[in-house]
A and B are shown apart, each in its own frame.
Chain A
Amino acid sequence: MTVLQIAALAAVALGGAAVVLAPDPLRQVLVLGIYGMSLTVLFFVFQDPDVALSEIVVSTVGLPVMVLLALRKVSEHQKERERQQQGEET
């Protein structure tokens, strides 16, 4: 095992823990993007360029876009709900 592989594995282990321990979903998305980059480096160092190519776009752009849009939609629903409740009270 080369030093590069050991370093990439350590980065992946830390990144995975960071994704789970992030405080709220918005921050989790950003850490997920960085975790995806570390996975890409790991795949590259394991001599798998094809896998690295597919992971790089999916994990930095593909998944975070969907999560951020879902979070935005949810917060909009929340605001509309609160506005409706205020409208009922007054």
Chain B
Amino acid sequence: MSFLPFAIAAWLFVFGLYGVVSSNNLVRTIISLTVVQSSTYLVLLGVGYVHGGAGAIFADIPATAKTVDPVVQVLVLTDIVIEATVTGLLLAMAVQAHKRFGSLDPHDMRALQD
């Protein structure tokens, strides 16, 4: 049972990849990428967890209390905000691709031909 978070992270990763591979629409691919990203958050936070640990805020607990690891939380929280903007960039490119090729299907898009 203690392997469950990592098992679910592997499940999300492979399922998200399945979404990317089987999609016929660029926006679908981009949203499935979000699922793949969230599996990495799960792995990082799973590594940092401590049984019976409190949150890493020492405002009301003594400084020697057992807490979860704060370093992985820093990585994950900046990552969440940044991946949202990068996904926005991908969406802007998808809109541009639609204007150029007339469809959002990746198979209708050929190399630049003038």
Contacts and interface: CB of A to CB of B under 8 A. Distances in A.
Q: Do the two chains belong together in a single complex? A: yes
Interface of A: 1, 6, 9, 12-13, 16-17, 19-20, 24-25, 28-29, 32, 35, 39, 42-43, 46-51, 54-55, 58-59, 62-63, 66-67, 70-71, 73-74, 77, 81
Q: Is the interface of A mostly helix, strand, loop or mixed?
A: helix
A47 B81 contact: no
B4 A74 contact: no
Contacts of B25: 24-25
A16 to B, nearest CB: 4
Interface in B1-19: 1-2, 4-5, 8, 11-12, 15-16, 18-19
A20 B102 contact: no
Interface residues on B, range: 35 or more
Contact of A51 (B77, B84, B88, B98): B77
A39 B45 CA distance: 12
B54 interface: yes
A47 B95 contact: no
Contact of A20 (B19, B42, B88): B19
Contact of B28 (A17, A28, A35): A28
